[in-house]
């Protein structure tokens, strides 16, 4: 399957999910980092379980912006933490599929919209046909 067709199918599925959700929604802002990469994210929570992030890698010029679009599912929601899995795609400088698995720790009772995220994000890079194992630490805030 070509990259264009794969991207078009992913965007179509993403659009259907957005249009079919109830009125609950929240916007979120995140920052993820590891020893070699950082990325900023704007997210959209469809409900308590399903959310997405558009992550943009830092350190690139305007021609080399590398977006990563992921759809995540909180399979465990607790008062102090959420466990989630996801799937997504990354384009431009890196072309591939990502499968994030993470925990969002909510350490402050007074700030339930703030979480500290630890994420294991394997990446299958289509151009190199190789699997990269990556991990990120992040901070995420859901806006009301």
pTM flag (> 0.85): no
State the DSSP string of the chain: --HHHHHHHHHHHHHHHHHTS-S--EEEEEEEE-SS-EEEEEEEESSSSEEEEEEEESS--GGG--EEEEEEEEEEE-SSEEEEEEEEEE-SSS-EEE--EEEEE---TT-TTEEEEEEE--EEETTTTEEE--EEEEEEEEE-
- pLDDT at residue 28, as a whole number: 92
How far apart are alpha carbons 70 and 125 in whole angstroms? Answer: 15
Q: What are phi and psi of 130, to 5 degrees?
A: -140, 155
pLDDT in tens, the chain (144 residues): 555 566 566 666 556 555 554 445 689 999 999 988 899 999 999 998 999 999 998 877 777 888 999 999 999 999 999 999 999 999 888 899 999 999 999 999 898 899 999 999 999 999 999 999 999 999 999 987
- pLDDT at residue 23, as a whole number: 47
Q: Could you say which of 3.40.50.620, 2.40.160.20, 3.40.50.40, 1.10.150.120 is the CATH number of the domain covering 3-143? A: 2.40.160.20
Return the domain boundaries, the chain.
3-143
């Amino acid at each position: 399957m070509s990259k264009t067709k794969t991207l078009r199918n992913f965007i179509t599925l993403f659009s259907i999910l957005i249009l079919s959700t109830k009125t609950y929604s929240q916007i979120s802002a995140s920052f993820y980092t590891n020893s070699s990469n950082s990325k900023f994210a704007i997210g959209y929570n469809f409900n308590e379980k399903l959310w997405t992030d558009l992550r943009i890698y830092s350190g690139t010029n305007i021609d080399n912006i590398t977006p990563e679009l992921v759809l995540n599912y909180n399979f465990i929601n607790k008062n102090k933490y959420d466990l989630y899995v996801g799937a997504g795609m990354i384009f431009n400088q890196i072309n591939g599929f990502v499968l994030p698995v993470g925990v969002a720790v909510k350490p402050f009772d007074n700030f339930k919209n703030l979480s500290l995220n630890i994420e294991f994000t394997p990446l299958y890079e289509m151009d190199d046909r190789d699997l990269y194992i990556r991990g990120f630490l992040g901070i995420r805030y859901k806006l009301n």
